[in-house]
């Protein structure tokens, strides 16, 4: 009979007011505990509803003094931590404040827009590679990465824009950085900023060079040609947020941040610098 009465009290509290039942508070937990409900039943309720209570040190002490048991308080703390982590991973992509957590990825701060906003840079697909040359020392084989299109669909009218990289270090596959079968990047330092050469309707980048003398290779290089790479400055705002800007102003042209995964495939985050505005403030 006592168990039935406790269950009835629980159901009344939880469901008589659906709007309140969706979010638990410290007062709700104290009420349930004083009603004599079992720890397991209260913990089940905690795990099924949103976190609306305060689990700061002072409030935890108050809960303990009110007779709430350690397992229940522990469940409250874990529930809030889990929901906060989920919110943190998703981020607030509508915010124009770059120091606010966004969904993992690369963003350009559009300070010239009214109002300003954060523009996500989606990866582009390369059409493949091509090899030119004869393989000799004078005319070596040159491997080039080909990105279709004369221009990127992301146009930035600044000569030195600010970029922000958002990561989730606890999850190696989040943010879609890298390529299949490779762990996601954890820092902007794993990316290379490059400038493309424009050839007809495509953009090209040298990613390999091989020269032979007879049948023996005398020159062999894989990866982005250093002369096409551009130095950047990286500032760690938090373990998940990094600000990246250019060391010096750049000319108008086609650029990209490139991340190469463990399987050798590259992911290309391209953008165009139109350089029609001068950057007047640092963010």
Asked whether residue 167 falls in the same domain as residue 271, the answer is yes
CA nearest to 156, candidates 66, 245, 67, 33: 245
What's the total number of domains in the chain?
2
**246-278 burial, b if ≥16 CB within 10 A, otherwise e?**
beeebeeebbbbbbbbeeeebbbbbbbbebeee
- Both 250 and 186 in one domain: the answer is yes
247 and 147 assigned to the same domain = yes
> Dihedral sign, CA of 250, 255, 260, 264?
negative
Give yes or no: residues 83 and 15 share one domain.
yes
Q: Is 232 a member of any domain?
A: yes
pLDDT of 278 reads 59
* Same domain? 181 vs 44: no
Same domain, yes or no, for 39 and 116? no
236 and 262 fall within a common domain: yes
Q: At what angle do helices 70-90 and 57-65 cross, to 10 degrees?
A: 150
**Cα separations (Å) of 132 from 127, 139, 204, 213, 246?**
16, 9, 12, 17, 32
Instruction: State yes or no: pLDDT of 174 exceeds 60.
Output: no
Domain that holds residue 172: 105-277
pLDDT digits (tens, 9 = 90+) for 207-223: 777 777 666 666 666 67
Give the domain-ending residue among 48, 64, 90.
Answer: 90
Do 274 and 154 form a contact (C-beta atoms < 8 A)? no
Q: Is the pLDDT of residue 280 over 90?
A: no
Q: What is the pLDDT of residue 21?
A: 41
If asked whether residues 146 and 219 sit together in one domain, one would say: yes
Average pLDDT, the chain: 76
Phi-psi region of 108 (alpha: psi -120 to 50; beta: other; left: phi over 0): beta
**Pairwise CA distance, residues 15 & 18, whole Å:** 5
- 96 found inside a domain: no
Domain stop point among 64, 90, 116: 90
pLDDT tier for residue 17 given thresholds of 50, 70 and 90: very low
Number of Cβ within a 10 Å radius of residue 5: 11
Q: Find the mean pLDDT for residues 186-193.
A: 84
Q: Which helix (H) or strand (E) holds 204?
A: strand 202-213
Q: Same domain, yes or no, for 126 and 59?
A: no
Residues 82 and 131 reside in one and the same domain: no
**All residues at 6 or more sequence positions from 203 whose CB lies less than 8 Å from its CB, including other chains:** 146, 147, 148, 149, 150, 196, 197, 254, 270
Q: Does 97 map to a domain? A: no
Residue 259 has pLDDT above 80, yes or no: yes
pLDDT digits (tens, 9 = 90+) for 243-256: 998 888 889 999 99
pLDDT band with cut points at 50, 70 and 90 for residue 108: very high
| In a shared domain, residues 11 and 117 | no
pLDDT of residue 11: 43
Q: Tell me which of 55, 90, 125 is where a domain ends.
A: 90
How many Cα atoms occupy the beta-carbon half-sphere of 42 within 13 Å? 26
Torsion of CA 140, 143, 147, 149, to 10 degrees: 20
Residue 180 lies in a domain: yes
pLDDT in tens, 110-149: 988 888 889 989 888 776 777 776 767 766 777 788 888 8
Which of these, 132, 101, 102, 135, lies nearest to 120 by C-alpha position? 102
**Predicted pLDDT of residue 9:** 39
In this structure, the answer to whether residues 192 and 215 fall within a common structural domain is: yes
pLDDT per position as a tens digit, 37-67:
899 888 888 887 766 777 778 888 899 999 9
Mean pLDDT calculated for residue range 14-35: 67
């Amino acid at each position: 009979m006592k168990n039935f009465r406790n269950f009835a009290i629980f159901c009344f509290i939880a469901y008589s007011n659906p709007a309140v039942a969706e979010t638990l508070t410290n007062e709700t937990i104290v009420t349930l505990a004083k009603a004599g409900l079992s720890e397991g039943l209260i913990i089940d309720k905690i795990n099924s509803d949103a976190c609306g209570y305060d689990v700061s040190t002072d409030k935890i002490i108050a809960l303990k003094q009110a007779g709430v048991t350690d397992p229940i308080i522990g469940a409250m703390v874990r529930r809030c931590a889990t929901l906060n982590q989920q919110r943190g991973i998703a981020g607030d992509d509508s915010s124009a404040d770059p120091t606010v957590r966004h969904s993992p990825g690369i963003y350009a701060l559009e300070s010239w827009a009214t109002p300003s906003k954060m523009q996500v840079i989606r990866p582009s697909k390369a059409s493949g590679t091509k090899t030119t040359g004869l393989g000799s020392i004078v005319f070596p084989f040159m491997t080039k990465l080909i990105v279709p299109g004369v221009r990127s669909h992301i146009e930035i009218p600044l000569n030195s824009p600010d970029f922000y990289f958002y990561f989730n270090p606890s999850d190696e596959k989040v943010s879609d950085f890298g390529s299949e079968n490779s762990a996601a990047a954890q820092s902007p330092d794993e990316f290379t900023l490059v400038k493309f050469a424009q050839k007809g309707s495509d953009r090209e980048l040298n990613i390999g060079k091989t020269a032979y003398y007879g049948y023996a290779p005398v020159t062999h290089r894989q990866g982005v040609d250093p002369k096409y790479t551009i130095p950047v400055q990286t500032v760690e705002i938090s373990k998940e947020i990094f600000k990246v800007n250019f060391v010096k102003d750049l000319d108008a042209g086609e650029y990209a941040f490139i991340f190469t995964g463990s399987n050798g495939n590259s992911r290309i985050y391209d953008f165009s610098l139109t350089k029609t505005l001068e950057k007047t403030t640092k963010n």
